[in-house]
Amino acid sequence: MHRRHLTAAALAAALLAAWPVAAQDTVKIGLILPMTGPSASTGREIEAAAKLYLQQNGTTVAGKTIELIVRDDTGTADVTKRLAQELVVKDKVSVLAGFGLTPLAAAAAPIATQAKVPQVIMAAATAVTTEASPFIVRTSFTLPQVTVPLAEWSAQNGIKTVVTLVSDYAPGLDAQKAFAERFGKAGGTVVEQLQVPLKNPDFAPFLQRVADAKPDAVFVFVPSGFGAVFMKQFVERGLDKSGIRLIATGDVTDDELLDKIGDVALGTITTHHYSAAHDSAENKAFVQAFQAANGGMRPNFMAVGGYDGMHLIIEALKKTNGATDGQGLVDAMKGMSWTSVRGPVSIDPDTRDIIQNVYVRKVEKRDGGLYNVEFATIEAVKDPVKAAK
Ligand code: DHB
């Protein structure tokens, strides 16, 4: 009896002693994503990529176990903020990551600053977003970064007049401004700038204005997941047969949607930082593994932002030897460079934004599917908005 009592007490003591050690031995990453709602594809792609990264690279770093906690913010900024708070206070995450849309990333930034927790942005792409907190590091892209090369390509390829048509929120306005400035400098004329509501967009009246203006080309940005709706209305309005060329950021010819959009997309010129058709050994292995693990789903640029975001976090933890101090992790991330499946990338130590190649692509048929086939590369592009400051 006495002996049994002691054993139980000893066991309890052992458990108590072991508990804090076990807690310290786990590094938690809070991944906040829109898993439902109109941007659910962004959540689906990033979650799949983050999990694939851990499957391939293991969950032990510097003797610590990596635990990924995924939360659905439904694409609503208030929810993002609440989840960020809970993850920091209750779950004690060492890193916040994800952020499918600019307003969601902005909502979490004050939490990252207060808690001194790195905020790795894997999706949102408005240029100024990284300035919302010194703890933000970004592995996606910026709209001006991918738009400026398209403005230049257009001016060099016989396009003289353009109407711009974008989703009416920060990244759309960023793209519109970047296009107009660079195209104007290169001798082109933007004849009209149109903004379409982000929620439940009806493109029809705006496409009518494009048709009436008869520009050489229409430049388009809509966020990931919205390209199919846009293209459907583009065809319904007869724009595909109007002689007006469609040029866009790669968000429109999103790899996950391209086959659904169909042959009407053939020939569309876009600029972006990632194509599932990117010709490298690293990318071929990535696409194959991603599709095998996800029922054939094709990885898009969001998946790559997630995959590289995990790489950044894990490599930073290796550099700090497992230490999770927020400033230490951010410092470890600054200046890091690696071979991504998109090509060579690095984190600009001054802006904490990603420096990467931007590719000019054309939608073509390959192996029975539609792909953004890269045909020109602009190397090591920095976000032009912050580079100009
Ligand atoms: C943003 C979201 C997207 O889905 C995208 O393709 C580009 C930018 C954003 O909200 O920042």
Candidates 122, 14, 129, 104; CA nearest to 68 is 122
168 secondary structure, DSSP code: S
Max CA separation in the chain (angstroms): 93
Assess whether pLDDT exceeds 60 at residue 51: yes
CB within 8 A of 70, min separation 6: which ones? 31, 33, 35, 47
Whole-model pTM?
Answer: 0.94
The CB of 43 under 6 Å from ligand 1? The reply is no
Residue nearest to ligand 1 atom 3, measured at CA: 223
Interatomic CA distance for residues 143 and 101, integer angstroms: 12
The CB of 126 under 6 Å from ligand 1? The reply is yes
pLDDT at residue 279 in the model: 98
The CB of 154 under 6 Å from ligand 1? The reply is no
Q: Which atom of ligand 1 is nearest to the CA of 42?
A: 4
Q: Which atom of ligand 1 is nearest to the CA of 104?
A: 10
Six-digit token pair at 230? 């846009």
Interatomic CA distance for residues 265 and 122, integer angstroms: 26
Q: Which of 3-12, 33-42, 364-373 has the lowest mean pLDDT?
A: 3-12
Q: Residue 91 in contact with residue 84, Cβ under 8 Å?
A: no
Assess whether pLDDT exceeds 80 at residue 79: yes
Instruction: Please choose from 102, 129, 146 the residue to mutate so as to test ligand 1's pocket, defined by most ligand atoms within 8 A of CB.
Output: 102
169 secondary structure, DSSP code: S
pLDDT digits (tens, 9 = 90+) for 139-164: 999 999 999 999 999 999 999 999 99
Share of the chain above pLDDT 70, in %: 94
Distance from the CA of 102 to the center of ligand 1, in angstroms?
A: 7
Q: Which atom of ligand 1 is nearest to the CA of 222?
A: 6
Distance from the CA of 161 to the center of ligand 1, in angstroms?
A: 26
Question: Looking at residues 107-120, what average pLDDT do you find?
Answer: 98
Residue nearest to ligand 1 atom 10, measured at CA: 101
R_g of the chain computed on alpha carbons: 23
pLDDT at residue 389 in the model: 83
β-bridge mates for residue 189, sequence order: 161
Interatomic CA distance for residues 41 and 38, integer angstroms: 8
263 secondary structure, DSSP code: G
Distance from the CA of 155 to the center of ligand 1, in angstroms?
A: 25
The CB of 224 under 6 Å from ligand 1? The reply is yes
Distance from the CA of 196 to the center of ligand 1, in angstroms?
A: 15
Instruction: Please choose from 46, 167, 173, 251 the residue to mutate so as to test ligand 1's pocket, defined by most ligand atoms within 8 A of CB.
Output: 251
The CB of 125 under 6 Å from ligand 1? The reply is yes
Neighbours of 168 (CB within 10 A): 14
Question: Looking at residues 183-196, what average pLDDT do you find?
Answer: 98
pLDDT digits (tens, 9 = 90+) for 310-358: 999 999 999 999 999 999 999 999 999 999 999 999 999 999 999 999 9
Q: Residue 349 in contact with residue 358, Cβ under 8 Å?
A: no
The CB of 127 under 6 Å from ligand 1? The reply is no
Give the confidence band of 5 by pLDDT, cuts at 50, 70, 90: low
CB burial readout 96-134, b (16+ within 10 A) else e: bbbbbbbbbbbbbbebbbebbbbbbbbbbbbbebbebbb
Indicate the residue type of 176: Q
Instruction: Please choose from 41, 76, 136, 143 the residue to mutate so as to test ligand 1's pocket, defined by most ligand atoms within 8 A of CB.
Output: 143
The CB of 198 under 6 Å from ligand 1? The reply is no
Distance from the CA of 175 to the center of ligand 1, in angstroms?
A: 11
Average confidence score pLDDT of the chain: 95
Q: Which of 12-21, 29-38, 330-339 has the lowest mean pLDDT?
A: 12-21
pLDDT at residue 17 in the model: 54
Residue nearest to ligand 1 atom 11, measured at CA: 124
Q: Tell me the H-state helices in the chain.
A: 2-24, 40-57, 77-89, 102-115, 143-156, 170-185, 204-213, 227-236, 258-261, 281-293, 301-319, 326-333, 384-387
Q: Residue 301 in contact with residue 354, Cβ under 8 Å?
A: no
pLDDT digits (tens, 9 = 90+) for 223-282: 999 999 999 999 999 999 999 999 999 999 999 999 999 999 999 999 999 999 999 999
Six-digit token pair at 13? 């003591």
Neighbours of 75 (CB within 10 A): 23
Instruction: Please choose from 138, 224, 252 the residue to mutate so as to test ligand 1's pocket, defined by most ligand atoms within 8 A of CB.
Output: 224
Q: Which atom of ligand 1 is nearest to the CA of 101?
A: 10
Q: Which atom of ligand 1 is nearest to the CA of 169?
A: 10
Distance from the CA of 14 to the center of ligand 1, in angstroms?
A: 49
